Amino acid sequence: DAGITQSPRHKVTETGTPVTLRCHQTENHRYMYWYRQDPGHGLRLIHYSYGVKDTDKGEVSDGYSVSRSKTEDFLLTLESATSSQTSVYFCASRSFDTEAFFGQGTRLTVV
Amino acid sequence: AQSVTQPDIHITVSEGASLELRCNYSYGATPYLFWYVQSPGQGLQLLLKYFSGDTLVQGIKGFEAEFKRSQSSFNLRKPSVHWSDAAEYFCAVGAEGGSYIPTFGRGTSLIVHP
């Protein structure tokens, strides 16, 4: 299995607070992605990265920002958490011309 | 823009019966195609992928899928389902080329009756 670790695995936070989720990969993968999974919606892309300091927005990027200062780490930040951001967040990574490998997910609850 | 449709939200089969999960994609050229499986509380695991070549693709756990360009489909099949196959299944598409972005369908939940 590819070494992709997400932290924390579970988090409960209050509305209006900032939250940062971390994705760490040990595969030297160039491409990394953040998705959210909600019932009835499958996985929706939040942000992605195609290299260090190179990131772009996905289809549901409002309220989220990302940073990638090292190949192995991709951080997702909720600037001011809202209840609509309660979800399961998945990180994925891959090399050029291969499939994506997924982390175990982070369950975030905003109360 | 690329997109994926999985028309069945839930599929129920009896153990030992055959299975086919449907996936239709929208993309103007030859896509990269994937099937992933997700067990409860887990991440996604790749079952199989199509990049090029033989349109019938074999995967893990006895699954196979066939790319049909004329129908824009990539249906997943298994001849005999086991109770352990109960899970969520996701079809995904990516534009041909190394810098593709995986786009996922909404998923199909497979229920297996004993």
A79-108: pLDDT as tens digits: 999 999 999 999 999 998 889 999 999 999
A65 to chain B, minimum CA–CA distance in Å?
A: 18
Question: Phi, psi at residue B76, to the nearest 5°?
Answer: -95, 135
Q: Assess whether pLDDT exceeds 90 at residue B98.
A: no
Sheet holding A64-70, edge to edge: A4-7, A19-25, A73-78, A64-70
B51-70: pLDDT as tens digits: 989 999 999 999 999 999 99
B66-76: pLDDT as tens digits: 999 999 999 99
Cβ-defined contact of B90 to A42 (cutoff 8 Å):
yes
Q: Assess whether pLDDT exceeds 80 at residue B19.
A: yes
A14-66: pLDDT as tens digits: 999 999 999 999 999 999 999 999 998 999 999 999 999 999 999 999 999 99
A98, with CB counted inside 10 A (0-12, 13-18, 19+), is middle
Q: Minimal Cα distance from A39: which residue of B? A: B106
Cα B28 from Cα B2, distance rounded (Å): 8
Disruptive mutation site among A95, A98, A99 for chain B (greatest number of B CBs within 10 Å): A99
B42 to chain A, minimum CA–CA distance in Å?
A: 5
Looking at residue A2, what is its pLDDT? 66
B75-91: pLDDT as tens digits: 999 999 999 999 999 99
Cβ-defined contact of B90 to A43 (cutoff 8 Å):
yes
B73, with CB counted inside 10 A (0-12, 13-18, 19+), is middle
Among the partner residues B9, B34, B43, nearest to A104 by beta-carbon distance: B43
Looking at residue A1, what is its pLDDT? 57
Cis peptide before A18 (omega within 30 of 0): no
Q: Is residue A102 less than 8 Å (CB to CB) from chain B?
A: yes
What percentage of residues in chain B have a pLDDT greater than 90? 82
Contacts of B45 in chain A (CB under 8 A): 102
